[in-house]
Amino acid sequence: MKKDKKLMPTDAELEILQILWAKKGASVREVYEEISKIKKCAYTSTLKIMQNMTAKGLVKRVVTDNLHTYTAAVEESKVRNSNVKELIDKFFKGSYAQLALHALGQSKKEEELDELIELVQRLKKTSKK
């Protein structure tokens, strides 16, 4: 099955998409300022990546009164689902259960474990219906 490249962004593209999803759109300057809070980067690099993302169809650019605003052209859930599927296929031979068991074994936070237990209980109830 052929992978949709739009749903498999690079790390830098994903970082930008996460900002755009959270803000529901932003200028290059706004994206650059958000990224600069966590790591050193150049404005021109951010601009170039976002231009490339526009060409790939990952983001849309709207020009209003000389202001360029970018929005995500791909849904966060679709990107997440595609990447999780890739991870499961690659590392767990397609087994969602093996991924879940691995995650349970790695979690050290009690609230995360409680959330997982609650989810499993809900899934068991709905599968019995």
Q: Per residue in 106-122, pLDDT tens?
A: 877 888 888 888 988 99
Query: How does residue 3 score in pLDDT terms, banded at 50, 70 and 90?
Result: low
Single pTM value for the model = 0.79
**Per-residue pLDDT tens digits for 50-94:** 999 999 999 999 999 989 999 999 999 999 999 999 999 999 999
Question: Are 5 and 49 contacting, i.e. CB atoms less than 8 angstroms apart?
Answer: no
- The per-residue pLDDT for 17 is 97
- Comparing 1 with 25, the larger pLDDT belongs to 25
Quote the mean pLDDT of the chain: 91
State the average pLDDT over residues 92-101. 90
**Per-residue pLDDT tens digits for 36-61:** 999 999 999 999 999 999 999 999 99
